Structure 1
Amino acid sequence: MAVFKPKFITFDCYGTLIKFDMAGAASAIFSDRVSADDMLPFTNDFACYRLDEVLGAWKPYGEVVCQAMIRTCKKWGVEYQDSDGAGIMEACATWGPHADVPAGLATVAKAFPLVLLTNSMNDLISHHVPRLGAPIHRVFTSEQAQSYKPRMRGFEYMLDQLGCGPEDILHVSSSLRYDLMTCHDMGIKNKVWVNRGHEPANPAYGYTEINDIGGLPGVLGL
């Protein structure tokens, strides 16, 4: 990708910047009900149901997590307790950034306004923004947009609030399914995929690949 000077650099937060560990949280809670051999496919199903849950009408993220876990438990014949979803949400609030994030963000923040578009709640994201180690210009949550990614509405809301078009931003994410495929469909041409091993590559979606946020300054010619 040729060096591009965006008006804003927009980011996915969880997974891309914050070390998102739903699988670890679920594994800790369900270790007494799910065997070690079954835990990886169990948590993989939990991830798939979370994606399915965000495709409909907006609801609080705690409900997304609980409903996804209820469906996962039903599939596996595992008892679900109300405390399970609450425990996972409590774990969410404790997570911090990937080790590469603070320095990488601080470098690009000197030249560009940084914006978050996150599938978070207003009160939940407040735990994480201060841990990123760089000034964040704006934060847009699913609660504000009343829509979760990968739906387009959140991106549309963000662009409207920023007063810019798809051609004016560089969007950075570790997820093709939640972010970069939607960006492609919306005509957001300038995209960076942070390959954290969450999903397989698909270069047809037209992104620049980096291994971590430390590679982002180079993409921007910094």
Structure 2
Amino acid sequence: MSFKTPKFITFDCYGTLTNFEMGPAARKQYANLVPADKMDGFVESFRGFRLDEVLGAWKPYSEVVHNSIERTCKVWNVKFDAADARAIYESVPTWGPHPDVPAGLAKIAHEIPLVILSNADNSQIQSNVDKLGAPFHKVFTAEMANSYKPRRQGFEYMLDQLGCGPEDIMHCSSSFRYDLMTAYDMGIKNKAWINRGHEPACPFYEYREIKDAGGLAGLVGL
């Protein structure tokens, strides 16, 4: 079943298009500080603190990472060094796309304008976007919106900048907590969940599920 062709297809970037390697970066940085049998728990705590850090007022993403890993170290009784946090943050621009993304985007990029709304700093995002292999009409960051997802302000900013309403877009993400729950609350009817395996299905939020970016063309009838 396909959606009505939207004016824009909007995307989360990290995790959905770009392979989100924050966990692997933390594992690498803390390999000599965290015992192997505790590493999964350490990384899971880091994930949870990152979400908590973006729910308040905007701050640079370097601070989000710094605060999250510092709080994680406190919980796990691991020595914190700001240089470790900085190394994890500075790895972000090196991350590339999921293997299915360039070909999947190529099927739609010249038919419908593509847009990114990302929890990123302005200084990070372009390096990751350049690796996606497709032209993007607009790229919006949390820094531009002065707010991180899952707060609504970023979505509101994006729609204002595009000059359209919730009915005019299809929003695509691999995350319910950061994107699709908020999109649902905002009345965005056309939603695609790219199932990357890092969150369970949540049918209440009324989306179409696809296994990878190759399924996007079928959703919009291309």
TM-score for both structures, normalised by structure 2 = 0.99
Computed over aligned residues only, the root mean square deviation of the Cα atoms, in angstroms, reads 0.7
- Structure 1 gaps of 5+ residues are none
- Give the aligned partner of residue 34 of structure 1: 34
- Give the aligned partner of residue 108 of structure 2: 108
- Give the aligned partner of residue 219 of structure 1: 219
Distance 1:117 1:2 in 2: 23
Distance 2:40 2:4 in 1: 40
- Give the aligned partner of residue 83 of structure 1: 83
Secondary structure of 1:159's counterpart equals helix
Q: Could you tell me how far 1:220 is from its partner in structure 2?
A: 1.2
Distance 2:145 2:90 in 1: 23
TM-score for both structures, normalised by structure 1 = 0.99
CA contact 2:2–2:221 (8 Å) conserved in 1? no
Q: Aligned runs of 1:65-214 on 2, under 5 Å?
A: 65-214=65-214
Distance 1:129 1:29 in 2: 25
Distance 1:54 1:210 in 2: 27
Q: Could you tell me how far 1:19 is from its partner in structure 2?
A: 0.4
Distance 1:25 1:76 in 2: 17
Distance 1:2 1:194 in 2: 15
Residue correspondences, number: 222
User: How far does the alpha carbon of each residue in 1:110-146 deviate from its partner, in whole angstroms, 9 at most, with x for none?
Assistant: 2100000000011100111111111100010000000
The farther-off stretch of 29-38 and 155-164 is 29-38
Distance 2:162 2:187 in 1: 17
Distance 1:3 1:116 in 2: 19
CA contact 2:66–2:85 (8 Å) conserved in 1? yes
Secondary structure of 1:109's counterpart equals coil
Q: Could you tell me how far 1:219 is from its partner in structure 2?
A: 1.1
Give the share of equivalent positions with the same residue, in percent: 61
The amino acid across from 1:127 in the alignment is S
Secondary structure of 1:160's counterpart equals helix
- Give the aligned partner of residue 45 of structure 2: 45
The amino acid across from 1:194 in the alignment is I
